[in-house]
Amino acid sequence: MPVAKLPDQFLEFSRNLLFVCRGIWVLMVFHFIAIIAFLFLPQGTDVLLLLLENSFQVGNPSALFILLLGVLFWSISSEFCCRMLLYMTDNSGHSLSIASVQSRKWLQVQLAKFCLYAPIFILGIGLVKAYFQNQSDSGFQLAVLLMLISLLTAECWLLFQLYHAKRKIPLFRKWMRLSAKEAFWTGKLYGIFNLYRIDLPASSLPIKEDHGPCKSKVENDLPRETPLPNGSFIPEGFVLIEQGIYHQPYPTQTWVFRIPLSFYSCLIKQLLILSAISVCLIILFSLIPLHTYTLVGAAALICCGFGCWQIIYVLLDFLDQAQPLGKFKFPYRLCIIGWVLLCSYINQDHPIRVLQNARTEQFPLVATHFEAWARQVESNNLADSIPIYLIAAEGGALRTGAFTALLLSKLADADSSFAKRVYAYSTVSGGSLGAGFFQSIQGLKDGIPEQQLSPVCKDFFELDFLSATTGKLVFAEIVQCLIPWHLPILDRAIALEQSWENGWELATLGKYLSNHFEQAIPNSNIAPAVLFQTVEAETGLPCVWSNLNLTDAIPFSNKRDLAARYPVPIALSSAINLSARFPLLSPAAMFSTHIGDSKTRRHYVDGGYFENSGQETLLALLQSLPFEQHPRLKPKILCFNFSFRIIISGLPNQECQNNHCHQ
C-alpha cells in the first residue's frame, strides 16, 4: 500500500539529504555564520542600521551600489562552491540504484538553488529585523526599507534569469555554463577527480581482428566513445593507468582510468576566474585607504568577504583532490593550517601603537595634581561653594559614547564653566570614547565662549567608524594570519584608532593646529584626571590607563596602573581603544613585559569584562582626594548609564568616606 511505503520513502530521503549535505558542510558553516552575524549579533544589526540610514544619502551613493554587487558576487560564489564541492566529493553513483542516483541529483540541484538565493534572503531578513527592532529609535522611514527590499528582489529576478530562465544571457552562459560533455560527467555522481574503473567479464571483452600471426587479440585499452557490453563508455580524454585480469570468483578484466584536469577545462576555468577575482578583492580591501572603506560600507564588505573566502577554501580543496603537481602529492589545506599556527606563534599579536619620536611623560601623583588643579579652580571662582564634578561613564559601544559626549556637551553649552570644573573621568569602552572626545574639543571654546560643542559631538558620532574596522576584520586580519610578523596596515585596532583621528579632524573642521586624538593624554595641572578602564586577559585584573600616577589612589597600583607599568607614549585614541577592545570587533592589545629574567606578553581587553560602569575606580580615586584642605569645593558625582539614567550625588566633605560614594 502507498501509505506503508511513506516511512521508508522518508527515511531514504533523509539519508540522501544528509549524505548530500555532508559534502557541502563547509559552505553550510559559512551560511550559518552569516545568519548569526546579520540576525543575532548586535554588531551585525548596527551594520544593517547604518545601511538603512545611509543608503539613499546623496553624498554616499556608492555604498548601496557596491552592496548590490557584493551580494551578487556572494550568491554566484555560493552557488558555484556548492556545485564544485558536490562534484568533488560525491562518488556514490557507482553503488546506488538508478532511483537513488536520481534522488540525490535532484537534491543537489535544489541545494545549489538554495545557496544561490540564500545570501539575498539572509540580508533581507536581517534588514527587516533591524528596522522593526529599532523602529522607535530610527531616523529613517519605512520607505527606505521597502526600497532596499525591492532592490534585493530585483537581484533575485536577475539571478533567476541568469541561471534558471529558458532564455539565458549568451555571455553568461559561455562563462558560467559547462560544456555538454562536462555537464554529463559531473552529473554522474562519480566524483570528478576519482579514478574511473571498468569491470568486464573476460567472455565479453571487445575483440579486434588482426591479420598478423595471431588471428585475434584483446586490446590493452578499451574503445573510446563507444558503448561497452555493460553500458559504459570511455571518453577520449580519459587516461588508462592500470589494466589486469582477476579470476575470483569469475574471470574479469579491469581497467582503471585517470581523468586529466584538461577534461574539465570549463569548470576549472570558472574556478580560476572566481579565485582571481577573490584574491584581487582580498588584496584591494586589505590595503585601501581608510576613508575608502566608508564609500564601500560595512555590509558590502561582509558580503564580499563571505564570497571571497568560500571560493578560496574551495580552491584549496580542489588543489588537495586534483593534485596538479602530478606525482608530487602536496597537502595544501594541512600546510596552510600548519603555516597559520606557526605564524600565530611567531607573530606579535596586536601590539599597542606607540607614538614615534615622543618621550615618556612623568605623571604627577593624585594628591599633587589635585592640589594644583583645586588652586587653579578656586582662584577663578570667588564663590563660597564651588561644585566640581567627577564623572563615571558606562560602556556599550558607540551608543554610550554618543550618549556620554552629547550629554556632556549639552551641559557645557548651558554652562561655559562646566568643563573646567570636571576633575575626573572614570570611563569604560564607549564611555571612554565619549568622554575622551568631549574633553579633547574644549579648545574650541578658547577665545570663543559662545562656541557650541554639541553640534561638533553630533557630527563626530554620525561618522562611519564601523566600515574600516569591518574591512580589516573580514579581509586584512585573515591575511595577517598568513604573515609571521605584524603589519600595522592590517591591524583592525589601529584602523579603528585612525578612523577616530580622521573623524576628529572632520568634526572639528581642522580648527586645531594639531589633532588631540593623535597626541598623548594631557597631564598638566589644569587638565582633568582621565582613568580608562581595561582588563588584563591573563589574570582578569582590572587595570587603568591614566594621566596620573595612581600609586596612592587605587589598590595594587603597581599592577593596575598601566601607564606606570608600561612607560611608553601612546596617543589618546590608543588609550581610549585600550578600554574599548571588545573581541571580535577589536583585538586584545598586547604589551611586552618582563617577569623575572624572561620576556612575556600581556593582553588587555574591554574594561566592561570586570566592571562596566567605571564607578569602582572613581570611588577609589574619590576616597584619596584631600577635600578637607579645600572646603569650598563641593564634589558632585555623575554616573552615566546606558539605560539613559543619570545618577547625581552631592557629597558633603565629611561624607566622602561613607557608603554614599557608591551611588
For residue 49, what pLDDT is reported?
85
Instruction: Point out the least confidently predicted range of 42-51, 121-130, 202-211.
Output: 202-211
Q: How confident is the model at residue 649 (pLDDT cuts 50, 70, 90)?
A: low
Average pLDDT over residues 528-536: 95
- Position of cell 600546510? 335
For residue 45, what pLDDT is reported?
85
- Whether the pLDDT of residue 343 is over 70: the answer is yes
Cβ neighbours around 566 below 10 Å, total: 17
- Kindly tell me the burial class for residue 439, based on how many C-beta atoms sit within 10 Å of its own C-beta (0-12, 13-18, 19 or more): buried
- Ordered domains of the chain (ranges, CATH): 13-184+266-320 (no CATH), 195-258 (no CATH), 373-662 (3.40.1090)
Q: Where is 99: in which H helix or E strand?
A: helix 98-133
Cβ neighbours around 385 below 10 Å, total: 9
Contact 637, 663 (CB under 8 A): yes
- pLDDT, one tens digit per residue, over 359-394 is 777 888 999 999 999 999 998 888 889 999 999 999
What DSSP string runs through 112-138?
HHHHHHHHHHHHHHHHHHHHHHTTTT-
Q: Where is 278: in which H helix or E strand?
A: helix 265-287
For residue 50, what pLDDT is reported?
82
For residue 327, what pLDDT is reported?
76
- Whether the pLDDT of residue 422 is over 70: the answer is yes
- Whether the pLDDT of residue 660 is over 50: the answer is no
CA atoms 85, 89, 94, 98: torsion sign: negative
pTM for the full predicted model: 0.88
d(CA 338, CA 330) in angstroms, rounded, equals: 13
- Whether the pLDDT of residue 658 is over 60: the answer is no
> Which residue, 507, 521, 506, 640, is CA-closest to 573?
521
8-state DSSP, 648: E
Cβ neighbours around 604 below 10 Å, total: 23
Angle subtended by helix axes 572-579 and 430-440, to nearest 10: 160
8-state DSSP, 36: I
- Whether the pLDDT of residue 643 is over 80: the answer is no
For residue 216, what pLDDT is reported?
35
Share of residues in the chain with pLDDT > 90 (%):
50
For residue 137, what pLDDT is reported?
57
- Whether the pLDDT of residue 510 is over 80: the answer is no
Q: Which residues contact 251 (CB under 8 A, 6 or more apart)?
A: 201, 202, 203, 245
Average pLDDT over residues 302-318: 96
What DSSP string runs through 437-505?
HHHHTGGGGTT-TT--SHHHHHHHHTS--HHHHHHIIIIIHHHHTTSSS--GGG-HHHHHHHHHHHHHH
Q: How confident is the model at residue 287 (pLDDT cuts 50, 70, 90)?
A: very high
Apex 430 CA angle, 428 and 436, nearest 5? 80
Average pLDDT over residues 597-621: 89
d(CA 427, CA 576) in angstroms, rounded, equals: 9
Q: Where are the alpha helices (DSSP H) in 213-297?
A: 265-287, 290-296
Average pLDDT over residues 482-490: 94
- pLDDT, one tens digit per residue, over 54-112 is 766 545 678 889 999 999 999 999 999 999 999 988 776 666 777 778 888 889 999 99
Average pLDDT over residues 400-408: 93
* Average pLDDT in the chain: 85
Q: Which residues contact 154 (CB under 8 A, 6 or more apart)?
A: none
For residue 57, what pLDDT is reported?
57
Grid coordinates in use for 398? 558607540
d(CA 279, CA 180) in angstroms, rounded, equals: 29
Higher pLDDT: 201 or 556? It is 556
- Position of cell 576555468? 269
For residue 652, what pLDDT is reported?
44
Contact 544, 560 (CB under 8 A): yes
Strands (E) across 584-632 are located at 589-595, 598-606
Cβ neighbours around 197 below 10 Å, total: 13
Grid coordinates in use for 629? 584642605
d(CA 486, CA 463) in angstroms, rounded, equals: 28
Q: How confident is the model at residue 209 (pLDDT cuts 50, 70, 90)?
A: very low
8-state DSSP, 353: P
Strands (E) across 261-385 are located at none
Q: Which residues contact 531 (CB under 8 A, 6 or more apart)?
A: 424, 425, 426, 427, 544, 545, 546, 548, 550, 614, 617, 618, 621
For residue 592, what pLDDT is reported?
85
For residue 195, what pLDDT is reported?
82
Using left for φ > 0, alpha for ψ between -120 and 50, and beta otherwise, residue 275 falls in alpha
- Whether the pLDDT of residue 304 is over 90: the answer is yes
Q: Torsions phi, psi of 603, nearest 5?
A: -120, 145
Q: How confident is the model at residue 210 (pLDDT cuts 50, 70, 90)?
A: very low
Rounded CA Rg of the chain: 33
Grid coordinates in use for 134? 529599532
- Whether the pLDDT of residue 351 is over 80: the answer is yes
Average pLDDT over residues 630-643: 87
Q: Where is 172: in which H helix or E strand?
A: helix 170-176
